[in-house]
Structure 1
Amino acid sequence: MDDRWPHQTVDVLGVRVSRIDVGRLREFVAAAVKDRTKLTITFANPDYVRKAQKDRALRDLMNGFDVNLPDGWGVVLAAKIFGRPVPGRMANDDLTDDLFGQPAEEGWRVFLFGNAPGVAEEAAHNLRAWFPGLAIAGTQHGHWAKDGALPPETAERLIAEINEAAPDILHVGLGTPLQQRFVADHRDRIDAPVIITCGAYFEHLAERREYYPSWVLKLRVGFLYRLAREPRRLWRRYTVELGSYLGRVVVHRIRHGKQS
């Protein structure tokens, strides 16, 4: 974590979650682009937090980012239970207007790296239509990993491609923990001042701008909506594992009380 981006945080089962609002986030991004100062941003959802509690390496990766935004109401709820509430849920889907509207307004260049072949290109096509004037510096898919890691020669080639495109903001959608490891290992060699992890976000952008219908966001049942769309892949995450996560939050609160 860089001390040039000071802000308050809440400890959610060992993961340092940022307590900033959208306005402060936009200020950080603007300052990083203007000063060419590195700013790394990732997201903490209940699944990542639960895994990080058991996996010290993943916890250290997440805590090494400058900003760690609350992705999911489970993290928002935990912060409130621990006595240090966050302004609200700040997943990639919630921030589309900011992540791409701000660059379109300012003339910044963005690069989309990740997800399956063709997805980033389709996402870029939609983004150009939604945000006139947005400069997409380049796109590249993220299916390069072997045995859970990017081969060194592949990483070298991808970094050279990204730097050649000269983006101001790089979005990395490789899935956790691969995307966090890629940023941690190569942040100082990537010229883009702002690097943001985004998981499967390009898939949402490629399909439509509002992945979650407004009623889903209003009722705060995004996890149920995703479960209904992908039951085979997500049923365990949103039943057994989510229940385990919430149980750990309650136990931690009982044992340690509120955070000061």
Structure 2
Amino acid sequence: MDKGWPHEIVDVLGVGVSKADVRMLRDFLEEAVLSRRQLTVTFANPNYVMAAQHDAPLRELMNAFDLNLADGWGVVLAAKIFGTPLPARMANDDLTDDFFGMPAEKGWRVFLFGNAPGTADAAAENLVNWYPGLRIAGTQHGHWADESGRIAPADVDRLVDEINEAKPDILHVGLGTPLQQIFVTENRDRLEVPVIITCGAYFEHLAERREWYPGWVLRLRIGWLYRLYREPRRLWRRYTIELGAYLSLVLRHRVRRGRRRHDARDR
């Protein structure tokens, strides 16, 4: 998995989560852009980890990325329960200054691809106001999937050509999971971009305001509760039934591992 980006990996229910902090991420970003050696970045949250238990292709997709960052305290908590703690939560919303402030300082070009028509444009407008000097190489919406849930090959070719012609240093892909991971893994060899980052609905947050989560929410580490408050119809199941099932699975896995270690000592 390291592909030239060696770092420690923590196994969270079969999903390899990168033991990374902001300094490592920034170092990797800079090395990738300067050396033109490709770095792919995705994120693991409890919802994706749960889905990967029953979806081997999704698990393989997530594990194929160079960096798989911990998106959500549920993943950080699971790693701690398993005895392999992670440095911090590393979600897109936590990394706005790094993903856009750093490129503004360095003069790197950024391309925003994904979300509903107009969303990436609105996000780009906010970003250039927040980070003077930021160079937006291009924007493109992400509504390309057909009835099968995939993007037609002809459209993929056109999108890859458009991105390459824009010559970005960093490409953010917000198509939702697993389509964004599929797009990146299937086309990374054709995309002439040093850094490719999946980002889900991140542009929606950037298009609305800089601080999607108020500071007090981040300090209390209750981003999930704030999101549930904002979008109850869409997220109630994820943050109640699915989160409960995830934590139950984590604890059962921890108990089983403890029993195996105990049995091994007794033999």
Same fold (TM over 0.5): yes
Query: What is the alpha-carbon distance in structure 2 between the residues aligned to residue 53 and residue 110 of structure 1?
Result: 34
In structure 2, the partner of 1:180 is 181
Alpha-carbon distance, 1:9 to partner: 1.2
Query: What is the alpha-carbon distance in structure 2 between the residues aligned to residue 70 and residue 2 of structure 1?
Result: 17
In structure 2, the partner of 1:256 is 257
Alpha-carbon distance, 1:118 to partner: 0.2
Structure 1: gaps spanning 5 or more residues: none
Identity of aligned residues (%): 70
Query: What is the alpha-carbon distance in structure 1 between the residues aligned to residue 234 and residue 258 of structure 2?
Result: 35
Alpha-carbon distance, 1:53 to partner: 1.1
Scaled by the length of structure 1, the TM-score of the pair is: 0.98
In structure 1, the partner of 2:120 is 120
Scaled by the length of structure 2, the TM-score of the pair is: 0.96
In structure 2, the partner of 1:214 is 215
Query: What is the alpha-carbon distance in structure 1 between the residues aligned to residue 241 and residue 143 of structure 2?
Result: 29
Query: What is the alpha-carbon distance in structure 2 between the residues aligned to residue 28 and residue 136 of structure 1?
Result: 21
In structure 1, the partner of 2:27 is 27
Tell me, yes or no, if structure 1 residue 131 matches structure 2 residue 147: no
Query: What is the alpha-carbon distance in structure 2 between the residues aligned to residue 198 and residue 21 of structure 1?
Result: 18
In structure 2, the partner of 1:13 is 13
User: Deviating runs (4+, > 2 A) in structure 1?
Assistant: none
In structure 1, the partner of 2:265 is none
- Asked if structure 2 preserves the Cα contact closer than 8 Å seen for 1:120 and 1:139, the reply is yes
In structure 1, the partner of 2:172 is 171
Q: Deviations over 1:80-122 (max 9, x none)?
A: 0111111111100000000001111111000000000000000
- Asked if structure 2 preserves the Cα contact closer than 8 Å seen for 1:82 and 1:257, the reply is no
The one-letter code matched in structure 1 to 2:189 is: D
- Aligned-pair RMSD on alpha carbons? 1.3
The one-letter code matched in structure 2 to 1:201 is: Y
Point out the structure with max Rg over C-alpha: 2
Query: What is the alpha-carbon distance in structure 2 between the residues aligned to residue 148 and residue 246 of structure 1?
Result: 29
Q: 1:8 to 1:257 in 2, by over 3 A?
A: farther
Q: Deviations over 1:55-98 (max 9, x none)?
A: 00000000000000000000000010111111111100000000
The one-letter code matched in structure 2 to 1:216 is: V
